[in-house]
């Protein structure tokens, strides 16, 4: 039986698009979010993420902002157009100018635990209802 923190962080039944270009971070977050009950759809670049988003209906998206030579902004725009809530992960401060266009979006600074991400996902989903 999950302890109180695990139950609070549960993502049971949620389909989460996870976009992260670092393979180790992606694997770790995918495993951790899956352990919390989510169905995780990982992608490492914009094209793959947009294909996943077009083929499925994620409940939430967790987007690494910097994806090598590109950013995840096209994915964020697609998520917004499809009414899919999302948050950004970044190695930069949430006050960085990269996020000027996304002032209404939660920006979590890496490194970060999956439990913290889960709490922010749950909070964002609660705010929508």
Sorted by where each begins, the domain ranges of the chain are 4-128
Q: Given a cut of 60, is residue 1 above it in pLDDT?
A: no
> pLDDT value at position 3?
44
- pTM summary value: 0.90
Q: What is the CATH number of domain 4-128?
A: 3.40.50.2300
Instruction: With cut-offs at 50, 70 and 90, classify the pLDDT of residue 96.
Output: low
- Buried-exposed string 92-128: b where 16+ CB fall within 10 A, e elsewhere: eeeeeebbeebeebbbbeeeeebeebbeebbeeeeee
């Amino acid at each position: 039986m999950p302890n109180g923190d695990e139950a609070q962080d549960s993502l049971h039944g949620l389909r989460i698009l996870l976009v992260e270009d670092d393979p180790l971070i992606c694997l770790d977050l995918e495993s951790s979010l899956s352990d919390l009950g989510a169905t995780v759809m990982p992608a490492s670049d914009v094209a793959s993420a947009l294909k996943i988003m077009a083929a499925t209906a994620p409940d939430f998206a967790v987007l690494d902002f910097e994806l090598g030579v590109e950013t995840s902004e096209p994915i964020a725009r697609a998520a917004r157009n499809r009414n899919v809530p999302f948050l950004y992960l970044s190695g930069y401060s949430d006050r960085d100018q990269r996020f000027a266009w996304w002032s209404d979006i939660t920006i979590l600074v890496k490194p970060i635990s999956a439990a913290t991400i889960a709490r922010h996902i749950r909070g964002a989903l609660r705010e929508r209802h």
